[in-house]
Structure 1
Amino acid sequence: MSDEVAAVPEGIDLERPSAARVYDYYLGGAHNFAVDRAMGERAIGLWPDLPLIMQANRAFLRRAVRYCVAAGIRQFLDLGSGIPTVGNVHEVARSGAPDARVVYVDNDPVAVSHSRFILGDDPRCAVVQADMRRPDVVLNSPEVGSLLDLSQPVAVMMVAVLHFVSDADDPAGIVAAYGDVVTPGSALVVSHATTDGQPREADEHSQLYRSTATPMSMRSRAQVEGLFEGFDIVEPGVVFLPQWRPESAHDVGENPERLSGLAAVGRKR
């Protein structure tokens, strides 16, 4: 048995790739397995810009967290968080607010295991193994109850996760369930895969993910806007990833639609 297989928690299916671990592979991380790397290489073969898109998504996350910190938010609920490697929510938030508290939520046992190892005994971070499609389970978890004060503003992070929620699972209803329990002034941070920009590549990517445990549902700009019911979308609205409050014109580039994911932040009324 290889060291890689020996390190897998009991019950993990090594025959099917995991979206969280494939994403880690795109970012150049080490928390993935051969099946995930093979999936990633197939996807990149169909859409060579994928690593750039994933990096743009991570850059959006960093900018959005800094926006929330500047707005006075000190609590973060990161849903579908994947593996919190370098540059994730707690590191970015604490660069501006050392007292920031973060609860990470993911349903992938390997991602959760790695997350707990990375975070260690950090008293202001916790990891919940749960499906974000079950807001009742997430919000009633001991970790959320002990670490987050829902009477104070919270940033609800749904970064690159809602496209893994099918229409049948009612993504707008799921977002609303979280939005209903947070106080006015809280933030909703969303990035979402879309066919806007590069429809052929996006459709082929979506078809590839149908073979995994986490098939994708691409959505349009109007559909993403519809997820913000009860929230005021801040400027510049729902835009392509590099267009959301870029730090320089170079970050946007000449063809922002090439990095075809949509991004937006809303504040609860």
Structure 2
Amino acid sequence: MRDRINTAQPHTARIWNYWLGGKDNYAVDREAGDSIRELHPGIGDYARADRLFLGRAVRHLVADCGVRQFLDIGTGLPTADNTHEVAQRIAPESRIVYVDNDPLVLTHARALLTSAPEGRTDYLDADMRDVDSVLKHAAKTLDFSRPVALMLLGVVIFIEDDEEALALVRRVMDALPPGSHLVLSHTITSPAMPDVDAAVAFWNEHGTPKLTQRTPAQVARFFDGLTLLEPGVVSCSRWRPDPSEQDQQGEPDEVAMFGAVARKD
């Protein structure tokens, strides 16, 4: 697996790690990250906003909705407050299955397996397109007769075809019982944020894997047939922000990463 890691070309997971202040990146990633930040100075802010969104969503699902199982696909490099850490801090019996196809993530997977003794975590080296394999493996840890939260943070951006991306999300949600939830975030394109388009174009020319932006309306389609929790599909920074994250006007700045949480009834 290790020889699949290309340290000569910037990689999105490592750049994301760099923006979040992590150390699992190389000079080529830092150089690309700095170049992207020149095009879009707020890029680090929406990396952090996405991470904070994960924490708030997981805390809400565990504390207020009673969810104890999470299927986290497109996990990314381990950093502070991974899904199992947030969930098990509230409910130590929580179970989490992580899924990613990045060999660098696989080399760090042991950091994702530090479960509380009452709960359990597992890691699967797989592509989200292989839905049957993901579900079969996850069933060894998760009980699909009970609610599961499907976490798809910044992952469907790697699937270019809209209908394929929608179909994959629906296939997984169809396999989950009522009471399950979808937590999804996605880089958007908007006339109000032209620098984001420039940053993504730079990335797609120089880095791997390629990214696909979608409009907020297109992102909302992933939640069709589900009940959106308030405040709906919004900037990740504005999804139920903690008081410490709000400015004097009471609302955080908008970032180009939108997300939502929705329930399967």
Task: Using structure 2 for the length normalisation, give the TM-score.
Answer: 0.91
1:231 to 226, 234, 250: 226
SS in 2 for 1:140: helix
Shift of 1:212: 2.2
For the pair 1:111 / 2:105, whether they are aligned, the reply is yes
1:135 equivalent in structure 2: 131
After superposition, the C-alpha distances for 1:174-222 in whole angstroms (9 at most, x for unaligned) are 1001111000000000111112374311111211221322111111111
Kindly tell me: are residues 252 and 246 of structure 1, through their superposed partners in 2, closer, same or farther at Cα, counting changes over 3 Å? Answer: farther
CA pair 21-95 structure 1, distance change in 2 beyond 3 A: same
Q: 1:56 aligns with which of 31, 49, 57?
A: 49
Separation in 2 of the partners of 1:166 and 1:253? Answer: 39
CA RMSD, 1 decimal: 2.1
Unaligned 5+ runs, structure 2: none
Q: Is the 8 A contact 1:74 1:97 kept in 2?
A: yes
TM-aligned CA distance change 1:114 to 1:216, over 3 Å = same
Q: CA deviation at 1:120?
A: 5.4
Equivalent position SS for 2:71: strand
Match of 1:45, SS?
helix
Conserved 8 A contact 2:78-2:111: no
1:162 to 130, 150, 156: 156
Q: Name the counterpart of 2:241.
A: 246
Task: Give the counterpart of 1:21 among 5, 9, 14.
Answer: 14
Answering whether residue 112 of structure 2 is matched by residue 88 of structure 1, we say no
- Whichever residue aligns with residue 231 of structure 2, its letter is P
- C-alpha contact (below 8 Å) 1:240/1:256 kept by paired residues: no
Alpha-carbon distance between aligned partners in 2 of 1:128 and 1:74, rounded to the nearest angstrom: 19
Deviations 1:37-75 (A, max 9, x none): 222111111111111111111111000001110201101
Question: Which deviations, in whole Å up to 9, do the C-alpha atoms of 1:113-135 show, x marking residues without a partner?
Answer: 11225535877111111111221
Number of residue pairs the alignment of both structures matches: 260
- Equivalent position SS for 2:4: coil
Shift of the 145–220 alpha-carbon distance from structure 1 to 2, 3 Å rule, reads same
2:157–2:211 Cα contact (<8 Å) kept: yes
Aligned 1:69-218 pairs, distance under 5 A: 69-70=62-63, 71-117=65-111, 119=113, 124-141=120-137, 144-167=138-161, 170-196=164-190, 198-210=192-204, 211-218=206-213
Unaligned runs of 5+ in 1: 1-7
- In structure 2, relative to structure 1, the CA distance for the partners of 1:261 and 1:121 (3 Å cut) is closer
Change (3 A) 1:9 1:232: same
Query: Letter of the aligned partner of 1:24 in structure 2?
Result: N
User: How big is the shift at 1:168?
Assistant: 5.9
Structure 1 vs Structure 2: percent identity of aligned residues? Answer: 39
Distance, in Å, in 1 between the alignment partners of 2:178 and 2:36 is 40
